[in-house]
C-alpha cells in the first residue's frame, strides 16, 4: 500500500497543506524545527490515531485554531481507500470512505506504518514499557482483534487496581470475579504476543545475519511475569498466581503479575544484547524494523509504509545501504526526513524531494 495524497488542516505548524507522493522514496529536507517530523507524525497519526511524540491531542492543533483535520488517499492492493480524522473539543472522529468508525479496532490496520525514529535506538536498553509499546503497536496493526482484547484487559486491570487501592479489607469473592476476567483476557493477549514474537524472530534473524555477514544470530525471548510450563496451562497458572498474590497485591495496592508487567529480551549469539556494542544495537534495531516490514507483508498481503525520522544520520553507509536495498526490493513506500542529502549514500532513482520551511512544503521535480 502507499499514500497517494495527504491533506492537513491546522495540524501543528501546518495551517493548510495538500501534498501528493511518489510510491517509492520521498525525502523531506529542511533545517531543524521547520516541521519535517510533524509531517511524518501526521502520517503516523492518520494510521494509528495517536502520536508517537505526545499523548495530548491538544498539542497537535495549530495554535490559532480549535480543530484539526487529516485526510489521506491510500492505494491498497484491494483498491483506493479514503481515511479521515477530525479532532475538536468534542473529541475524535475517524472515518473510512466517509463512514464513521465506532471502534478503534475497525479503523486501525486500514493503513499500516512502520516508524523508525532515533528513540527506537533505546529499545534494547530502555524501560520494559518501551518494548511492550513496540509489541502493541505492531501487533495491533496486523491483528486488530489484539487491540480489542488488550483494551478489555486494561479495563479489568484498572478496576482491580482501583479496588485494591480503595478496599479496607479483601472481599475474596469479588476479587475472584476480577481475577477470572483478568486471566481470561490476559491469556489471549499473551498468546497473541508469543505468536508475534516467534514470527518476528525468524524474519529479524534473517535480516540480522545479512547485516552482520553471517557472523551473528539474533534471537528474541518473551519474558512473561506469569510463570507457566506450557502454553495450554497459561490461564490456570495465571489465575493461580493472581489468587496466591492477593495479600501481596493488597499490601502494594496494585496487580503484580500479568501482561502489563511482561518484557522482551534480545540475544546476539546467545548473549543478552544489553552487553552488546552500540553498533550491534543499531544493527539489531535495523533488523527488527526490516522484519516488521517483511512480517506485515507476509501476514496481510500488503506492504506497510515506512517512516524514517532522522535516523539515516545515525546509521553508517553499510547499514544505510542494507536498509535502502530492502526498501527497494520489497517495493515499500518510504518517507525520510533529513537536514541534508549528504547523510544519504547510494540513493536510488525516482525519488521525490520535498523542501520543508516553517510549515510549508516545496516539491522538487523527481530525480531520475
Residue list for the binding site: 30-37
d(CA 219, CA 202): 8
d(CA 29, CA 38): 13
What is the C-alpha to C-alpha distance for residues 30 and 339, in angstroms, rounded to an integer? 5
User: Is residue 205 a contact partner of residue 171, using CB atoms and an 8 Å limit?
Assistant: no
**The three three-digit cell numbers of residue 72, written as one number:** 489521506
Binding site for ATP: what residues are annotated?
Answer: 30-37
In the block, cell 535502502 appears at 324
For 25, counting Cβ atoms within 10 Å of its Cβ (0-12 exposed, 13-18 middle, 19+ buried), the class is buried
Give, as one character, the DSSP assignment of residue 180.
H
> Do 142 and 296 meet the contact criterion of CB atoms below 8 Å apart?
yes
What is the β-pairing status of strands 68-76 and 2-11? antiparallel
Q: d(Cα 164, Cα 353) in Å, to the nearest integer?
A: 55
Read off the C-alpha cell for 328: 527497494
Look at residues 20, 11, 3 and name the one whose alpha carbon lies nearest to residue 85.
Answer: 11
CA–CA gap between residue 250 and residue 239 (Å, rounded): 16
Dmax (CA) for the chain in angstroms is: 72
d(CA 182, CA 178): 6
Exposure of 96 in the CB half-sphere (CA atoms within 13 A): 17
Q: Which of 210, 241, 226, 225 is nearest to 318 (CA)?
A: 210
Q: Are 234 and 190 in contact (CB under 8 A)?
A: yes
Residue 48 to residue 112: CA distance in whole angstroms: 8
Residues 6+ apart with CB under 8 A from 48: 108, 113, 137, 140, 141
SS3 302: coil
Amino acid at each position: 500500500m502507499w499514500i497517494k495524497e495527504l491533506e492537513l488542516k491546522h495540524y501543528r505548524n501546518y495551517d493548510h497543506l495538500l501534498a501528493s507522493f511518489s510510491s517509492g522514496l520521498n525525502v523531506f529536507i529542511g533545517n531543524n524545527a521547520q516541521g519535517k517530523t510533524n509531517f511524518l507524525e501526521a502520517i503516523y497519526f492518520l494510521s494509528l490515531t495517536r502520536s508517537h511524540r505526545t499523548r495530548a491531542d491538544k498539542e497537535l492543533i495549530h495554535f490559532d485554531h480549535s480543530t484539526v483535520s487529516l485526510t489521506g488517499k491510500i492505494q491498497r492492493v484491494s483498491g483506493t481507500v479514503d481515511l479521515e480524522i477530525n479532532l475538536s473539543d468534542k473529541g475524535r472522529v475517524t472515518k473510512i470512505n466517509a463512514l464513521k468508525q465506532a471502534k478503534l479496532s475497525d479503523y486501525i490496520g486500514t493503513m499500516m506504518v512502520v516508524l523508525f525514529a532515533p528513540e527506537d535506538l533505546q529499545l534494547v536498553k530502555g524501560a520494559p514499557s518501551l518494548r511492550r509499546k513496540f509489541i502493541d503497536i505492531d501487533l495491533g496493526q496486523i491483528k486488530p482483534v489484539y487491540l480489542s482484547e488488550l483494551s478489555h484487559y486494561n479495563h479489568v486491570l484498572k478496576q482491580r487496581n482501583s479496588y485494591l487501592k480503595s478496599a479496607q479489607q479483601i472481599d475474596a469473592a469479588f476479587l475472584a470475579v476480577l481475577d477470572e476476567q483478568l486471566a481470561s483476557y490476559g491469556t489471549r493477549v499473551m498468546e497473541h504476543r508469543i505468536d508475534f514474537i516467534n514470527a518476528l524472530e525468524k524474519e529479524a534473524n534473517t535480516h540480522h545475519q545479512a547485516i552482520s555477514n553471517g557472523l551473528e544470530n539474533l534471537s528474541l525471548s518473551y519474558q512473561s511475569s506469569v510463570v507457566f510450563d506450557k502454553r495450554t496451562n497459561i490461564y490456570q497458572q495465571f489465575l493461580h498466581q493472581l489468587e496466591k498474590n492477593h495479600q501481596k497485591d493488597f499490601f502494594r495496592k496494585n496487580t503484580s503479575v500479568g501482561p502489563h508487567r511482561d518484557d522482551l529480551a534480545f540475544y546476539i549469539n546467545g548473549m543478552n544484547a544489553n552487553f552488546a556494542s552500540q553498533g550491534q544495537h543499531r544493527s539489531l534495531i535495523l533488523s527488527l524494523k526490516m522484519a516488521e516490514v517483511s512480517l506485515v507483508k507476509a501476514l496481510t498481503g500488503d506492504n506497510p509504509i515506512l517512516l524514517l525520522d532522522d535516523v539515516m544520520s545515525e546509521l553508517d553507509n553499510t547499514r544505510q545501504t542494507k536498509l535502502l536495498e530492502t526498501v527497494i526490493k520489497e517495493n515499500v513506500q518510504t518517507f525520510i526526513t533529513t537536514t541534508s542529502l549528504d547523510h544519504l549514500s547510494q540513493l536510488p532513482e525516482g525519488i521525490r524531494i520535498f523542501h520543508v520551511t516553517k510549515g510549508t512544503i516545496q516539491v522538487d521535480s523527481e530525480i531520475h
